[in-house]
Chain A
């Protein structure tokens, strides 16, 4: 008999494992997001009180937000897993802790503004890059450079000035991260005077080439058990 039942509002519609996993991670649960301790501004309280919208503004802006959300999911999951596994050296331990916190906060913000229109968190296989210091840094450099390039590639496509203001404020943080990771990895933090953006199709192609986003393993089946009974 249940001692502490969890909310089961939409569990029947969602993938059970996914919903439970998200709630436990604290990465992307909307119920968890609403409960987080960032009390404060009137604007924020207004957001919390407003009925959940199915997205921000134009369909085009929604698509851009979901594109950004996918990249933030990728980064957040990468750093979170690295921190959990604890396999990289102690002197770098602060990196996944801090960057994971920031990318998870970016995820929360994008999910909140998208509401029901938010894409679901994908499943990831980081193929050992979260388990080795050198591989971690190289992958972090690539992710942060790519994230910054993706935001630049979208900047002129954003319809809403308020969304643009939010996007540039995140973009420069990704560029800081990129410089920091390059510094730690021994690469030059700023290789050129002007950073080019990348269009969405190219960013997606690069992400696909990593094969980090994977299908959900099928662990549930409609089938009669043949256990020992």
Chain B
């Protein structure tokens, strides 16, 4: 809900770094372009070799679903806020309103599936990305592409039950991706495949946006 979020465009105590004065939408775009950056206190989070310990399991499902749940929370809040604050009209407004509802449904589904293991609800600060149609569009394109590659990156790690559900969701996220790109006159499907992103890459991309205030 929009009134849950504190909207601070700049942190006045931050040092003068050019990045902080860029719109968050641009930051988000650059983050996704960079892809596989490293996070978490400078520690290299490498992909783990697949072993018996990392074969599909309910425990691993919970980790994965919580990761995508964070992304779904981010999307649900982003579209909710943008649909009222970003001065959207016409196709963009219609897109934001429909997607808002569908992302909420994804959040509800994942929270229900995870039960008590569901992560605490995160809070976000989208800055300029929810303030005007241009910044909104750029951020929406990047977010949807991130969603698709995040799910694709975890498909082989899920148990069959979780995979079946995840497939139904990623399909809709891919539709959203094609849709917003079509609206903004970009190529809806520029590549013949949507290459997966690892959890580390997804996390890095999320962190580079600086949308996440607390998880």
> Which A residues touch B171, using CB under 8 A?
148, 152, 171-172, 175, 195
Binds A, one of B30-38, B193-201, B203-211: B193-201
A38 to chain B, nearest CB (A): 11
Contact yes or no, B163 A179, CB < 8 A: no
Max chain A Cβ within 10 angstroms of own Cβ: one of B105, B152, B171, B177: B171
How many angstroms from the CA of A176 to the CA of B180 in the assembled complex? 10
Complex CA–CA separation, A148 to B106 (angstroms): 19
Given A179-B174, A194-B105, A197-B168, also A189-B163 (CB < 8 A): no
Q: Which of B152, B156, B160, B168 contacts A195 (CB 8 A)?
A: B168
- Chain A residues with Cβ below 8 Å from B181 are 176, 180
Q: Which range holds the interface residue count of chain B?
A: 35 or more
Which of chain A's residues 79-118 have a Cβ closer than 8 Å to chain B? 98, 101-102, 105-106
With beta carbons under 8 angstroms apart, the residue of B101, B168, B178 that contacts A176 is B178
Instruction: Map CB proximity to B onto A152-191 as digits: 1 under 8 Å, 0 otherwise.
Output: 1001100001101110111111011111100110001110
Q: What is the bound-complex CA distance between A152 and B169, given in angstroms?
A: 10
Tell me if B172 and A195 are in contact (CB < 8 A).
Answer: yes
Which residues of B have CB within 8 Å of A179? 174-179, 182, 188
Q: Majority SS of interface residues in chain B? A: helix
A192 at the binding interface (Cβ < 8 Å): yes
Distance (whole angstroms) from the CB of A171 to the closest CB of chain B: 7
| Smallest Cβ-Cβ distance to B99: which chain A residue | A190
Q: How far is the CB of A155 from chain B (nearest CB, A)?
A: 5
Judge whether B178 and A189 touch: CB under 8 Å: yes
A145 to chain B, nearest CB (A): 10
In the complex, residue of chain A having the shortest beta-carbon distance to the beta carbon of B194: A172
Taking Cβ atoms with an 8 Å cutoff, the residues of A that contact B are: 98, 101-102, 105-106, 148, 151-152, 155-156, 161-162, 164-166, 168-173, 175-180, 183-184, 188-190, 192-197
Interface residues of B (CB under 8 A from A): 50, 98-99, 101-102, 105-106, 109, 148, 151-152, 155-156, 160, 163-164, 167-179, 181-183, 187-189, 191-196
Give the 6 A-B CB pairs with smallest separation, nearest first.
A179-B178, A175-B174, A176-B178, A193-B105, A195-B171, A179-B175
User: 12 interchain pairs (CB within 8 A)?
Assistant: A98-B189, A102-B189, A106-B192, A155-B163, A168-B155, A168-B196, A169-B196, A172-B152, A175-B170, A179-B178, A190-B179, A193-B102
